[in-house]
Amino acid sequence: MIGKKFNYGWVIVGYGVLCMLLLHYGTVGSQAIFLLPVTQDLGVSTTTLTMASTYGTIVSMIVTPWAGKLMDKKSIRRLMFFGILGTGLTMVAQSYVASVYTYYAIILVRTALNPFALMMPFAALAARWFTKENRSFATSIIFVGISLGGVLLSNPLAALIETVGWRLTYRYYGLAAVVLLSPLTLALVRDYPDGYEEMIQEETVGRGEQKADLVSLLKDRRFILVCAGMSCISFIGCSLYHISSYVQSLGYDARFGATVISIYNFVCIFSKMIMGRLFDRKGLKAGILFGALGICGSYFLMALSVFWSSAWFLVVIALFYGIGNTCQSITAPSLVSGVFGVRNYSEVYAKISTVTMVVGAVSTPVLSAIYEASGSYLTAWIVCLVLSFVSTVCLMAACMGHDRVKD
């Protein structure tokens, strides 16, 4: 029963940390480290390679809403098993690619599996297993695993790539993920806690039933604002793929780029938990403003660094970027449960995720094209700075009247 004795949800949280550390970081967070070696191996530009995410948009638009509806009706545990198994195998397959077209095909398959293996199922499980007093905090701990992956694995992966090449590095990484995570999914994940229906009824008293069909959501001003705000965050968040390249463009080597990535991921460990607590205990606005400090501050300083930079200045940027990058994982789950409620959570979350994926897929090649056209990241960082302010305004407007400040 939720709230009595030990909450088994914390076991799921612990497993979520491990899964995010290995699988999410391996397939998403580590791409900044793999980007240049892969482009050099395949003989293509960064713009050409990152177009894979744009092609994956079509798959995301089809699969993600369907996956969200499926998770509300079927066993998340079983869906996660196949998603995690398949995702690990795509990592192995990617190590054998001989052309950019094969690379595209594998990314499309992985894109179809991501909604069942990464952030969405764990966000849904946290919403089920925890009450509103600890839900965002539990979610934040799960997603700390993404940052831990950056702290613990960035430098070893960079060194391994230099030693044995990106192909063997990715191949063995994928095999390790399959062997470790697939059986743990079946052993540790449970779909619902005891007392789930009672918790739902208690939280929905006085707020009515939230419909999750697209027509109803599009009539809801809050949904439009959340989508707009999270789309801006998704666009600017794709800059993480460019961090290593950005640092090297300022005259530093790849290892220092990996160090910067490790620093901002280390900051993310704590900023995610702080943001989760702020959402739970101080309300939605407090969490949004905390994230705004990071995203606005980091892109302002990154724009300045194009004119002047030092190693210590990049460390300061990494501190702000670590706070801002927290918005990528914590903001959407907290707003979905805080604004729209827990019932039909996966469906609403999936529809918002679909919109942000579309924007994110466009962002990566756009930022690459800006850099390759101008030879500088200045214009890209100015665009990101403007969008960071827009996102803050939209999200603050969406959560009006829904703060959960404790007496």
Chain CA centroid to CA 154, Å: 17
| Residue 401 clears pLDDT 70, i.e. is over it | no
DSSP string, 18-83: HHIIIIIIIIIITHHHHHHHHHHHHT--HHHHHHHHHHHHHHHHHHHHHHHHHHHHS-HHHHHHHH
DSSP 130: S
| Highest mean pLDDT of the ranges 254-258, 272-276, 357-361 | 272-276
CB 346 within 8 A of CB 69: yes
**The pair of three-digit structure tokens given for residue 122, joined into one six-digit string:** 């764990």
The predicted pLDDT at position 93 comes to 94
CB 303 within 8 A of CB 382: yes
Q: Among 38-47, 93-102, 364-373, name the one with the lowest average pLDDT.
A: 364-373
Whole-number mean pLDDT of the chain?
85
The predicted pLDDT at position 4 comes to 55
On whether the 9-398 domain is CATH 1.20.1250.20, my answer is yes
CB 235 within 8 A of CB 384: yes
CA 147, CA 227: separation in Å to the nearest integer?
Answer: 24
The predicted pLDDT at position 212 comes to 66
Per-residue pLDDT band for 402 (boundaries 50, 70, 90) equals low
The predicted pLDDT at position 249 comes to 80
Host H or E run for residue 154: helix 135-164
pLDDT tens track for 207-224: 555 666 777 787 888 899
pLDDT tens track for 277-309: 999 988 899 999 999 999 999 999 989 988 888
CA 291, CA 271: separation in Å to the nearest integer?
Answer: 9
CA 250, CA 309: separation in Å to the nearest integer?
Answer: 8
CB 193 within 8 A of CB 2: yes
Would the pTM count as exceeding 0.85? no
Report the pLDDT averaged over residues 108-124: 89
CA 49, CA 42: separation in Å to the nearest integer?
Answer: 9
| Residue 407 clears pLDDT 50, i.e. is over it | no
Report the pLDDT averaged over residues 303-331: 88
Q: Measure the CA angle with vertex 129, ends 73 and 340; round to 5°.
A: 65
CB 305 within 8 A of CB 314: yes
CB 238 within 8 A of CB 377: no
pLDDT tens track for 142-165: 988 887 887 788 788 888 998 999
